[in-house]
Structure 1
Amino acid sequence: MKSIVNNKLERFVGILLVVIFMTLGVYGACFAQDTLTVDIFGPGQRKVNVVLLPPRTLDEGKYQGRNGVNLPLPAEAELFDKDLHRDFEYLPFLNIVPLTAILGGDPSSGVKPGEVDLKPLRLSKVDFALTTGWTIMPSGERKVSLRLIGTYNGRTVVGKRYSRVSEDVLGMIADKFSSHVMRHLTGHSGFFESSIAFVRKNGKDKEIFTVSPQGRNLEQVSALGGVNLSPCWSIDGNRLAFTRLGSRQHLLCIWDKQTGKIDQKTFPGNTVISPTYLPNGDLAVTLTLNGDSDIYLIGSNFKPRKPLAKSWAIEVSPDFDKSGEKMVFVSGRFGNPHIFMLNMKTGKVTRVTHDGKYNTSPTISPDGRFVAFSRQTPLGHRIFVHDMKSGVERQLTFGPGNDEDPAFGPDGYFIAFASSRDGEYKIYLTTRHGDPAMHVPTGKGVAKTPAWRGPGSS
């Protein structure tokens, strides 16, 4: 009898423990969803599902109560919706779920959390719902309210309202809100406020242009004629250095963002290749002062101070981490072009690449851990990334055509590069995980050698 009671008690306790664990599992899952974040720098990034619900027009007088769903949408609403979709598509960790995939269609009656039926969204494994509400004031002024609502906690996790909305600022508002969303999910932002400098072919000339990663604010920097190459931003974003191939010699050009003026400098030896800013404002550039192409440190007075990389071979393409303590560069000192790293404090040079016979265009992540570069393969040039901590090397791009000129973004997550995959060289974006390439609109003409300017610069 006692054994029967014990067996029943053990079974009851076992069932109770299973129920407790299942309950904890459910609450644990809800808690995980409640604090949903994305580690974009980890070994793997999870996908976050988001649905963009149809925009609605709000009655300003009833905004705090019920909304005026029958009011017509302003003309800007459709354009703004496209801008938001495009911005979200640039974030590889976001998966935009079409409204047609939601059971029953649009689950919202308004724009607030209590006006969105979250059950069908959860069933469709949607993590967030974005609502957009437009207000048209009696004066004609447009306002837009944006809410990113968590489907598992039913709360607004990112909410912003913008006034004086007009067609010419729709892209900027979409960028600002997308930046807030990225910061909430990843702890990082700035991608949408950054800028990429690049070389674009204009007829027979090659000039320097700038554009946002999403293809906005396209601007021509130089109009010098001839061939202008290798743009590089200063750390504060106020200056842009590049090389101009003059009729008799190379010139170092410095564009001042504030004034729009370009200062041109000459150096002995007639060669100025791949100028690059250090974090302190100095420059590193390849010069041929003594007949050899070596990398020199250039001070604020534009006088060569000392060689940073010197050998019998060609030394080119320097790039620095955020601290300025590590410089990667290309050298042919072992016969073929390979990537090397210089410790600026100790002067020690470490070889980065050993595979392949042609490795060029290195770029180092701001934290100094990753080095991306272009390698010639039997199928064309491809972008690779080398982990300096683990020594692991991985191919990021696979063509078709050639993939060249990688440039790390200021967050160390995105990488811009040039590719001929569609027949003509254009600028594309990927991540250090090798996510599918995204095209950056740069206008007509071949576009190459991207260089990234960080956000928050003046």
Structure 2
Amino acid sequence: MKRITILFAACLLVCLTAAFASAQGPLTVDIHGPGQRLVNITLLPPKGLDGQPVPEAAAKAFKELVANDLGYIPFLKLVPVSELLGGDPSHGVTAQDIDFKPFQLARVDLCLTTGWNGQYLEARVYETFSGRRVVGKAYRDVADKLPLVADRFCSAFLEALTGKKGFFDSPIVFVKQDGKSKEIYTVLPQGRGLTKISDLGGFNLSPAWSAEGDQIAFTHIGDDRHELCIYEAKTHKIRRVAKGLGDTVISPVYGPGDVLYASLNLNGTTNIYELSKSYKVGKRLAGSPYIDVSPSFDRTGSLMAFTSGRAGNPHVYLLDMKTGQVRRVTTTGKYNTHPCLSPDGRYVAYTHQTSDGHRIFLHDLETGREKQLTFGPGNDEYPAFGPDGYFIAFASSRTGTYQLYLTTRHGDTPRKISTGKGAAFAPAWDTSLQW
């Protein structure tokens, strides 16, 4: 009787596992949905290909880079091999080389394999309940570019899983305290590749990427005037423009077609103007006798969010670029600034002053609902949507000095971006790889 019971239990387990696998279908994650499913993934030990040994140092470094990248994704949980029954259930890198049953028993959804043959690296992710390959890539000559390879593979994996490319190889431009001056820097979201863009002295503020990622516009405030500065990525040179732009040049930003917009004070009031390719002043947007600053566009250029004092204190407004109609977005509080439109034009992230300090809020333009994303301590300011519209970079003084952090539009626990010594604020994301 005991033997029959054991056999029945074993058969039931097999049937339930098979039924669950057949019912699963392709594993996908809706990162923009109301809830996030937690997905478990295991990084399997590297394997040698074609009889070649595994380069231990490179393989370890690649695994650590991938684990670090995936650690930024709040719906992914890394499950070590040691938690699988019997340890590593693979003897190769293809689905035929993997026993998926230990993953199923441990409720691990995905597994990553890496194969090395001395000349190239193969990386694959499989669904453990179906054996389906989610993504597979091969990279040659990886010895001196492992971080780049890891970033690109993780971006491809995230796109296969969610339909949206990852942010891993999309740099952030920001302002960094550099002695007595504030200069412009770039950094990858993982804290790698910190690069100084400007060395002009004074205050260099409000950086913004062009749509193609080949230029960065920012404001330079010197001893006697404001200047519009354009950094050229190819030449690493900075063009400085002041003539004809008035005595105030702030919050430059690129709109559709890489048209540049900036807030200028030409007639005693700061408003938002379109600039020509030669940086001549064109039409005024959302014209009013009040201060209008901080323009932000969606991907199509149909909408522009901005901050205006037309209600008596700073609030966020939305301009329909086709009709010219302006509507107010924020209605509560007395200080709402630094709006950033999501690429799809549905959400506006902005800085809202609460009784506990500045916090990042999210406004859904379709439903009118608002959500607080950050909770301090200190002040949280300058939200910037990532290229996928899911991640949001912002600056926070929660440790005493402003530093950059990442959260999501669901308000997941913020993760600090390493930018070295000195305060860091006003982030803006390069979306050229996604547009």
Deviation at 1:73, TM superposition (A): 4.1
Deviation at 1:59, TM superposition (A): 5.0
Counterpart in the other structure of 1:445:
422
Given that residues 351 and 382 in structure 2 are in contact (C-alpha distance below 8 angstroms), is that contact kept between their aligned partners in structure 1? yes
Deviation at 1:25, TM superposition (A): 8.8
Deviation at 1:177, TM superposition (A): 1.1
Counterpart in the other structure of 2:300:
323
Counterpart in the other structure of 2:27:
36
Does 2:223 correspond to 1:233? no
Give the direction of change, closer, same or farther, for the CA distance of 1:39–1:225 in structure 2 (3 Å limit): same
Task: Pick the aligned partner of 1:372 from 329, 339, 349.
Answer: 349
Give the direction of change, closer, same or farther, for the CA distance of 1:24–1:41 in structure 2 (3 Å limit): farther
Q: Secondary structure of the equivalent of 2:145? A: helix
Instruction: State the distance in 2 between where 1:324 and 1:73 align.
Output: 48
Q: What are the Cα deviations for residues 157-197 of structure 1, in whole angstroms up to 9, with x where unaligned?
A: 3222222221x311011111111211110112152231111
Deviates most, 366-375 or 39-48:
39-48
Does 2:68 correspond to 1:86? yes
Deviation at 1:24, TM superposition (A): 11
Taking structure 2 as the reference length, what is the TM-score of the superposition?
A: 0.92
Instruction: State the distance in 2 between where 1:26 and 1:195 align.
Output: 42
Counterpart in the other structure of 1:174:
150
Given that residues 281 and 300 in structure 1 are in contact (C-alpha distance below 8 angstroms), is that contact kept between their aligned partners in structure 2? no
Counterpart in the other structure of 2:198:
222
Give the direction of change, closer, same or farther, for the CA distance of 1:408–1:293 in structure 2 (3 Å limit): same
Instruction: Give 1:90's aligned amino acid.
Output: Y
Q: Secondary structure of the equivalent of 1:60? A: coil
Given that residues 156 and 166 in structure 2 are in contact (C-alpha distance below 8 angstroms), is that contact kept between their aligned partners in structure 1? no
Counterpart in the other structure of 1:250:
226
Give the direction of change, closer, same or farther, for the CA distance of 1:232–1:262 in structure 2 (3 Å limit): same
Instruction: State the distance in 2 between where 1:111 and 1:280 align.
Output: 44
Given that residues 424 and 446 in structure 1 are in contact (C-alpha distance below 8 angstroms), is that contact kept between their aligned partners in structure 2? yes
Give the direction of change, closer, same or farther, for the CA distance of 1:73–1:193 in structure 2 (3 Å limit): closer
Task: Pick the aligned partner of 1:301 from 270, 278, 285.
Answer: 278
Instruction: Give 1:272's aligned amino acid.
Output: V
Counterpart in the other structure of 1:149:
126
Within 5 A, what are the aligned runs for 1:40-439?
Answer: 40-56=31-47, 58-61=48-51, 71=53, 73-136=55-118, 142-166=119-143, 168-266=144-242, 267-439=244-416
Given that residues 294 and 316 in structure 1 are in contact (C-alpha distance below 8 angstroms), is that contact kept between their aligned partners in structure 2? yes
Q: What are the Cα deviations for residues 77-111 of structure 1, in whole angstroms up to 9, with x where unaligned?
A: 22111101001112222111133332333333333
Counterpart in the other structure of 2:11:
none
Given that residues 236 and 457 in structure 1 are in contact (C-alpha distance below 8 angstroms), is that contact kept between their aligned partners in structure 2? no
Deviation at 1:198, TM superposition (A): 0.5
How many residues get paired?
422
Taking structure 1 as the reference length, what is the TM-score of the superposition?
A: 0.87
Counterpart in the other structure of 1:20:
none
Given that residues 211 and 432 in structure 2 are in contact (C-alpha distance below 8 angstroms), is that contact kept between their aligned partners in structure 1? no
Deviates most, 92-101 or 247-256:
92-101
Q: What are the Cα deviations for residues 194-219 of structure 1, in whole angstroms up to 9, with x where unaligned?
A: 11110111111111111122222221
Give the direction of change, closer, same or farther, for the CA distance of 1:317–1:51 in structure 2 (3 Å limit): same
Given that residues 348 and 365 in structure 2 are in contact (C-alpha distance below 8 angstroms), is that contact kept between their aligned partners in structure 1? yes
Given that residues 154 and 166 in structure 2 are in contact (C-alpha distance below 8 angstroms), is that contact kept between their aligned partners in structure 1? no
Counterpart in the other structure of 1:65:
none
Structure 1 vs Structure 2: percent identity of aligned residues? 52
Instruction: State the distance in 1 between where 2:315 and 2:127 align.
Output: 48
Instruction: Give 1:178's aligned amino acid.
Output: C
Give the direction of change, closer, same or farther, for the CA distance of 1:134–1:426 in structure 2 (3 Å limit): same
Given that residues 234 and 279 in structure 1 are in contact (C-alpha distance below 8 angstroms), is that contact kept between their aligned partners in structure 2? no
Instruction: Give 1:325's aligned amino acid.
Output: S
Q: What are the Cα deviations for residues 398-433 of structure 1, in whole angstroms up to 9, with x where unaligned?
A: 112211100111221111111122222111111111
Given that residues 245 and 281 in structure 2 are in contact (C-alpha distance below 8 angstroms), is that contact kept between their aligned partners in structure 1? no
Deviation at 1:26, TM superposition (A): 7.0
Structure of greater Rg: 1
Instruction: State the distance in 1 between where 2:59 and 2:206 align.
Output: 40
Give the direction of change, closer, same or farther, for the CA distance of 1:258–1:184 in structure 2 (3 Å limit): same
Instruction: State the distance in 2 between where 1:379 and 1:409 align.
Output: 26
Instruction: State the distance in 2 between where 1:320 and 1:176 align.
Output: 27
Instruction: Give 1:264's aligned amino acid.
Output: R
Given that residues 387 and 434 in structure 2 are in contact (C-alpha distance below 8 angstroms), is that contact kept between their aligned partners in structure 1? no
Instruction: State the distance in 2 between where 1:59 and 1:312 align.
Output: 69
Deviation at 1:367, TM superposition (A): 1.5
Q: What are the Cα deviations for residues 255-277 of structure 1, in whole angstroms up to 9, with x where unaligned?
A: 11111111111145310010111
Q: Secondary structure of the equivalent of 2:331? A: coil
